[in-house]
Amino acid sequence: MSGNASPSPPASPEIDDGTKTVIGIAFGNTTSSIAYTTPDGKAEVIANEEGDRQIPSVLSWVGSEEYHGTQAKSHLIRNAKNTVAYFRDFLGKKYSEIDPTNSHNSAHPLDVDGVPSFNLQQADDETVSTVSINEITTRHLIRLRDSASDFLGRKVTGAVITVPTDFSDTQKEALVAAAKAGELEVLQIIHEPVAAVLAYAARRTPEAQGVDRNILVADLGGTRCDAAVVASRGGMYTILATAHDYGLGGLRLDEVLVNHFSKEFIKKHKVDPGNERSLAKLRLEAEGTKRTLSLGTSATISIESLADGYDFHSTINRLRYELSAKKVFDQVVSLVENVVKKAELDLLDIGEVILSGGTSHTPKIASRIAALFPDSVPVNAPATLTTALNPSELSARGAAIQASLIAEFDKEDIEQSTHPAVTVAPHLSHPIGVVIGEDNSFQTILEAQTAVPARRIAQFDVQADGDVIVRICEGIREIVVEKVERQVNVIAEAAIRGAKRGGKVEVTINVGSDLGLNVAARVIGTQIGVRGEVKPEAGSAQ
């Protein structure tokens, strides 16, 4: 495996015939992933040379040799000062804006004219170079790109990269620049929760993708947890709200286990494994134990010479672990509840839940979140749904899907397609529907938060010969035990005369971008029908 440690990539063996080869990159603080789309349109996550699909976002130097991923991560034990980890969120920020907490056990960020930087030994002599966060990011992206190029046998030319929804424009610009410095073109930056939604949507028929619903995406990572409510309307996605917890993630769960095992070790040997190196070992192994606990009901830990020459062997069962981690789980649950509140929705308004990020493998987290919702709401996580995708892969897959969709676009095309004049759209503030049945209940036809222009068609059975009425209304949310939409104001009424029992009435509602409404109702297969128009309120034109 000597090739992995090579400071400069090997002379490129890939074909560079001018064709475009694009990938998706999920760039996390803890891990990164790369994915591509197979010729039959399936997104696949690529394993690097070491066989990792979740590549630790860590770089380390021993002399002039650069290590990346899992190898670099293992250097946190003996080579912490020359190892850079958990750096993604530093990119594009001023030193005063960064939270260095997670760098405590690795190279510390320094303030170099406001730019977060690291003092590292990257040469075989003792010289120390100051490396900016931008340069670190460039190195990381180069290593990811090279791994992908290696696997695909072709030079990767461009990538779609995912970032959290709170990434500022400055951060995005820094990311694009860092990639460019590594000769990687960023085709587009997309938001992690949207990538997760895309990863799931790609498995569905276009028809099923178009089914309107509110999707809650909880991205539970290593250093942070993010949640978003995404309105899916006709296959288009609008983020309604986001929430972030910067102190919550897999590291906190590692810490729970580290504390547990430390106490046990102290009890056994009367020695505190509190020195840096012992703790680093314990952290690394505890993470492995934690992952095992996601699959089995108990896990072992085994560390040679943990402290004072004592070895450490122990077992923990899942229940014990879950008990100790309860506070962390509680915080994840409250993050989820909070984002729904911020979207001004009720938990009952959520139609699907997607759990993304490595920590979503934790069974108790998935079941605690699932318990918030009715059984009819799918909670996509390995522990709650057998058909769930690997939560660690969602961002990269979504990015790869988007990359393949825009692979043939030129720069100008992408710029114009993502221009605010295209992305900003008026969204309905209330659902539009029809009053039906004996109880005059409100049947939604266009959900609230649907971007306009939009069109929806609904079909009703005719139960008896005679005249029927199509009463178009705006609904207001009113939640009683189950989801109920109550009509508030009647927008228009249409009379259909002489319908025959057994017939079908088709109602088409068209909302213009100016909020003008066109309604057509007809009895299918007859000449009977009515059309009408509702002019927009003066001044509400977009």
Ligand X SMILES: Nc1ncnc2c1ncn2[C@@H]1O[C@H](COP(=O)(O)OP(=O)(O)OP(=O)(O)O)[C@@H](O)[C@H]1O
Least distance in angstroms from the C-beta of 220 to ligand X? 7
Degrees, nearest 5: CA angle 284-285-289: 125
Among 62, 239, 333, 377, binds another protein (CB under 8 A): 239
Distance CA 461, CA 500 (A): 10
Whether the Cβ atoms of residue 25 and residue 160 lie closer than 8 Å to each other = yes
Q: 343-358: b or e for each residue (b if 16 or more CB lie within 10 Å)?
A: bebeebbbbbbbbbbb
Structure tokens at 359: 């920590």
Distance CA 22, CA 383 (A): 32
The interface with another protein within residues 266-295 (CB under 8 A) comprises none
Chosen from another protein, Mg ion, ligand X, none, partner binding at 338 (C-beta under 5 to 8 Å by type): another protein
Least distance in angstroms from the C-beta of 515 to another protein? 5
Closer residue to Mg ion (CB): 28 or 109: 28
User: Does residue 391 belong to the site contacting Mg ion (CB under 5 A)?
Assistant: no
User: Does residue 56 belong to the site contacting Mg ion (CB under 5 A)?
Assistant: no
Chosen from another protein, ligand X, Mg ion, none, partner binding at 368 (C-beta under 5 to 8 Å by type): none
Closer residue to another protein (CB): 245 or 264: 245
Least distance in angstroms from the C-beta of 237 to ligand X? 20
Closer residue to another protein (CB): 347 or 491: 491
The interface with another protein within residues 38-67 (CB under 8 A) comprises none
Least distance in angstroms from the C-beta of 388 to ligand X? 13
Distance CA 282, CA 266 (A): 13
Least distance in angstroms from the C-beta of 140 to another protein? 21
Chosen from another protein, Mg ion, ligand X, none, partner binding at 361 (C-beta under 5 to 8 Å by type): ligand X
Residue in the block written with tokens 């690529």:
46
Among 9, 44, 74, 108, binds another protein (CB under 8 A): 108
User: Does residue 221 belong to the site contacting Mg ion (CB under 5 A)?
Assistant: yes
The interface with another protein within residues 304-343 (CB under 8 A) comprises 334, 338
Closest CA to 284 of 101, 58, 108: 58
Total residues at interface with another protein (CB under 8 A):
117
Stretch that binds Mg ion, among 26-34, 303-311, 369-377, 404-412 (CB under 5 A): 26-34
Stretch that binds another protein, among 120-128, 171-179, 361-369, 528-536 (CB under 8 A): 528-536
Closer residue to Mg ion (CB): 109 or 357: 357
Binding mask 241-260 for another protein (x = CB under 8 A): xx-xxx--------------
Distance CA 20, CA 157 (A): 6
Interaction site with ligand X (CB under 6 A)? 28-31, 54, 88, 221-224, 249-251, 287, 290-291, 294, 357-359, 361-362, 392
User: Does residue 350 belong to the site contacting another protein (CB under 8 A)?
Assistant: no
Verify cis geometry, omega within 30 degrees of 0, for the bond prior to 109.
no
Structure tokens at 441: 């209940």
Closest CA to 120 of 7, 33, 4: 7
Whether the Cβ atoms of residue 155 and residue 16 lie closer than 8 Å to each other = yes
Stretch that binds another protein, among 130-138, 148-156, 265-273, 440-448 (CB under 8 A): 440-448
Among 405, 483, 486, 522, binds another protein (CB under 8 A): 405
User: Does residue 28 belong to the site contacting Mg ion (CB under 5 A)?
Assistant: yes
Closer residue to Mg ion (CB): 222 or 351: 222
Strands 441-446 and 432-436, by their bridges, are: antiparallel
Least distance in angstroms from the C-beta of 101 to another protein? 7
Distance CA 352, CA 366 (A): 13
Rg (CA), the chain: 27
Whether the Cβ atoms of residue 50 and residue 70 lie closer than 8 Å to each other = yes
Whether the Cβ atoms of residue 57 and residue 84 lie closer than 8 Å to each other = no
User: Does residue 357 belong to the site contacting another protein (CB under 8 A)?
Assistant: no
Could you write out the DSSP letters of every residue in 87-151?
A: -GGGTT--GGG--GGGGTTSPPPEEETTEEEEEE--SSSS--EEEEHHHHHHHHHHHHHHHHHHH
